[in-house]
Amino acid sequence: MLRDVAGFSLVVPINAEASFQGMMRLNGTGKFLWQQLEKEADEVALVSALCESYDIDEAAAKEDVAAFLLRLDSLGVLEKQ
């Protein structure tokens, strides 16, 4: 789950069995993307949401989203579908 603690956006696991058991801090963009993920957005939807809300071009958004997903994946945060 994503919560604000002491002014920082934190992601923590809610499942004791999850492979990710730490805490991850997100910046503003990270928080935005996480909230899209909570709405079941896929990679394409993340890129278009980022373009719309942050006024950046698609290539840059694609790069940011890919980097964000890679980081989540490397920490074992993502559940693959």
Partner 1 sequence: MPLYRFADFVFDIQPRYDYTLFLCKDYEVKDGVPDFVIKATEEECQAEKQRALSAVSSGYCEGMVIYRKICNAVAAFDTMLLHGATVKVAGKAYAFCAPSGTGKTTHIHLWKLCYKDKVTVLNGDKPLLRKKGDTFFAYGTPWCGKEGWNTNDSAPLSAICFLERAKTNSIRRLSKEEALMRIFEQLLKPSHIAGVEALLSMTDALLSYVPMYLLSCDISEEAAALSFETMTK
Contact residues: partner 1, CB under 8 A:
1, 3-8, 10, 12-14, 16, 21, 23, 25
Distance of closest approach, residue 22 Cβ to partner 1, in angstroms: 8
Which C-beta is closer to partner 1: that of 21 or that of 53? Answer: 21
- SS3 of the chain: helix, strand, coil, percent, to 5: 50, 15, 35
Measure the CA–CA gap between 72 and 21, rounded to whole angstroms: 13
Residue type, 56: I
Task: Pick the closer one to partner 1 by CB: 7 or 55.
Answer: 7
Q: Closest CB to partner 1 among 14 and 39?
A: 14
